Amino acid sequence: MPNYEPDLSTTFSALGDPTRRGVLARLGQGAATVSELSQPYDMALPSFMQHLKVLEKSGLVHSHKAGRSRIYELQPERIREAEQWLQQQRQLWEQRLDRLDDYLLQMKEERE
Amino acid sequence: MPNYEPDLSTTFSALGDPTRRGVLARLGQGAATVSELSQPYDMALPSFMQHLKVLEKSGLVHSHKAGRSRIYELQPERIREAEQWLQQQRQLWEQRLDRLDDYLLQMKEERE
DNA sequence: TAGATATATAACTATATAGCTATATAAAAG
DNA sequence: CTTTTATATAGCTATATAGTTATATATCTA
């Protein structure tokens, strides 16, 4: 199996849920507790906490206990990795199209 | 193919599998048939084709029938969307850190 | 037209994911 | 010391996902 990249898999899978993307967007504004993060969502707390666990397992966020609260913060490295993979794919695609354009242009010139 | 409504969730979910990312990377080099795409993978063909269906439903690829073959090609728009979402999150995060740096610097200057 | 090729579909199993309620624990507040 | 608050865990259901084999269909090739 070529391109075996387990980190990217858990990162992209974690990103594939609107609740989890919402949490990441919120954490972009700064660290927050479980209750602060869950407040906008109409969802039982254990269900919401499951999403937080998925985010933490993927490495997209990090948490620590402070008194009876748990504080989550963004961990931007995994976001950068995912972004770079996408950027690379897009760039390879665009370079190929450029080479195709060059080729077609050359064909055209040779016919003239 | 019917009108699917691809969004970030289906895009990121589709990206969360190494086989599917491998297919996307391969399609970056140019269009290919099902058998060409499946060749590197040690997986039963129906299982592999399921991955192609997931990619097509997400809008990351497009396909058409040519004789008895089906030809897949990359559809870069969904990749760009995903890339832009990640870029935006990262930029918001970095801007916030910059503002925090400014604030800390100002505090330091005011103490001197 | 018969056979080979390239998908496509059906039917099934196993595991993962996303949600719930109920209950437990740990720390803060009174 | 009791109550409230803020998670944390247990245990359950339903659906989704990822894989399999067997079989069907459509299109080329001889």
| Whole-number pLDDT of residue B5 | 40
- Cα gap B79→B93, rounded to integer Å: 21
Residue B2 domain-assigned (yes or no):
no
| Whole-number pLDDT of residue B112 | 66
Quote the number of domains for chain B: 1
Q: Beta-carbon neighbour count of residue A82 at 10 Å?
A: 25
Each residue of A49-58: pLDDT tens digit? 999 999 999 9
| Whole-number pLDDT of residue B65 | 97
Q: List chain B residues with pLDDT less than 50.
A: 1-5
Q: Closest nucleotide (CA of B44 to C1')?
A: D20
Strand D–CB B68 distance below 7 A: yes
Q: Closest nucleotide (CA of B14 to C1')?
A: D17
| Whole-number pLDDT of residue A4 | 43
On whether any CB of chain A is under 8 Å from the CB of B6, the answer is no
A19: domain CATH number is 1.10.10.10
Q: Which domain holds residue B64?
A: 8-111
On whether any CB of chain B is under 8 Å from the CB of A7, the answer is no
Distances (CA, A) of A99 to A76, A92, A108, B72: 34, 11, 14, 20
Residue B107 domain-assigned (yes or no):
yes
On whether any CB of chain A is under 8 Å from the CB of B97, the answer is no
Which residues have C-beta within 8 Å of that of residue B42, sequence separation ≥ 6?
A1
Pair A37, A72: CB distance under 8 Å: yes
> Nearest residue (Cα to C1') for C18?
A47
Task: Phi first, then psi: give them for residue B42, nearest 5 degrees.
Answer: -90, 80
